Amino acid sequence: MATNLEFIKSASADNVTSFTITDIFSDKYDVYEVFVRGNGSQNVGSLNAEFLDSSGTDIAQGAYDTAILRLNPASTFGEVRTTNANSFEWAYPSGSDFDFGAKITVYNPYSTSSYTFATIQSMAKQGEKAIVVAKSTTSAEQMAFYANQHFTPINVSVFGVK
């Protein structure tokens, strides 16, 4: 795989429970690197995301499958598997006021002939490694990020891989 990154877009928000970054996926690249960092307010549970089409509709509502390995330094490692979910987890602060960061590598989000896949490496209270499939052949052009409490803040940067 090529290793050159080309900057596409960055955006941020503060004191919100959802955040959408638009116009990031196109037919120019097959692989994207999405870097997310920030902080969550008190009692933030898992942080979730969705791939959206050009009108802002989730491309795989009820059709996300995820496999996660949680790397908790204070206890045993754990596995989480979800099928046919409405979104996918990309970090798990599970507590009060934790900084978080993630690298989400997205494969074929704009393709109409294959599913969209992603691999995730994230860190908050614990580390996670995950793989996601959005079982849809609808083109994604945007991503939405969600928290059960407020992002304080959230920063997203997107790069195309050449």
The more confident residue out of 7 and 1 is 7
| pLDDT reported for residue 126 | 84
| pLDDT reported for residue 95 | 66
Please report where in the chains the tokens 């902080």 appear, as a residue. Answer: 39
Token pair listed for 20: 């959408």
Distance CA 153, CA 40 (A): 7
Q: Which domains does the chain have, with CATH numbers?
A: 5-161 (2.60.120)
Query: What's the pLDDT tens digit per position in 31-64?
Result: 999 999 988 776 677 789 999 999 999 999 999 9
Query: What's the pLDDT tens digit per position in 62-105?
Result: 999 999 999 888 888 999 999 999 999 998 776 666 788 999 99
| pLDDT reported for residue 28 | 96
Q: Which of 85, 86, 88, 89 lies closest to 100 in space, CA to CA?
A: 89
Distance CA 49, CA 151 (A): 13
| Sequence-ordered strand ranges (E) for the chain | 5-13, 16-21, 31-40, 47-52, 64-71, 78-85, 88-91, 99-107, 116-123, 127-134, 142-161
| pLDDT range class, residue 14, cuts 50, 70, 90 | very high
Query: What's the pLDDT tens digit per position in 99-126?
Result: 889 999 999 999 999 999 999 999 887 8
Residue 1 above 60 pLDDT?
A: no
Distance CA 14, CA 153 (A): 4
| pLDDT reported for residue 41 | 72
Query: What's the pLDDT tens digit per position in 134-152?
Result: 999 999 999 999 988 888 8
Which of the 8 DSSP states describes residue 111?
-
Residue 130 above 60 pLDDT?
A: yes
Q: Which of 37, 43, 144 lies closest to 91 in space, CA to CA?
A: 37
Residue 2 above 60 pLDDT?
A: no
